[in-house]
Amino acid sequence: MTFQEFWRLIALIGGYPVADEREPFRALEEELAGREVEEITSFEDLLASALFRLDRRTYADLPTIDTGRTQSTDSFLYNRCAVVVAGEVAYESVLAGSRSFQDYTHSCLPSSERILYVAQKAYERKTGTPWEYVSAVDYETGSNESEW
């Protein structure tokens, strides 16, 4: 799967902010479940890569836009998910510095965390077996050592 196809699939979510924490991700999950296993794992790898690129201390140190509180490790990950869910243009704009990461740190909007589980759910739906795949790219907070 190419990044171009990855972003086309991300667009199925409908952008940011998501309407709720489950429904917007179903179309993407269904689309992936209809594809080959290799495409599902490729989607997971591309998602991990996108989240990894956003794993930067300069973003993590920003307070949430609506409360001014520090982002927790988990909320920073979910806020990175929100940037990805917003789509390719928003994602590239954040990385280029023309749009602020902080725009995606609202604590009162539905979370984009569910994107983390879409490939797993699609795989399990397709194969009927548990997801055991682990991407080679670690997206947990602090993994992108060159940006910390």
Helices 26-33/37-53 angle, 10° precision: 140
Q: Each residue of 47-98: pLDDT tens digit?
A: 999 999 999 999 999 999 999 999 999 999 999 999 999 999 999 999 999 8
> Among candidates 100, 17, 21, 118, which has minimal Cα distance to 64?
100
> To which residue do tokens 């179309």 refer?
27
Report yes or no on 142 lying in a domain: no
- Tell me how many domains the chain contains: 1
> Among candidates 71, 46, 59, which has minimal Cα distance to 139?
46
Q: Do the beta carbons of residue 55 and residue 146 sit within 8 Å?
A: no
Q: Which domain holds residue 13?
A: 3-130
Report yes or no on 145 lying in a domain: no
Give the model's confidence band at 109: pLDDT under 50 very low, under 70 low, under 90 confident, else very high.
confident
Q: What is the mean pLDDT of residues 24-28?
A: 94
Report yes or no on 95 lying in a domain: yes
Report yes or no on 41 lying in a domain: yes
pTM: predicted TM-score of the whole model, two decimal places = 0.95
134/58 Cα distance (integer angstroms): 27
Higher pLDDT, 96 or 108: 96
Q: Supply the pLDDT for residue 134.
A: 97
Report yes or no on 11 lying in a domain: yes
Report yes or no on 116 lying in a domain: yes
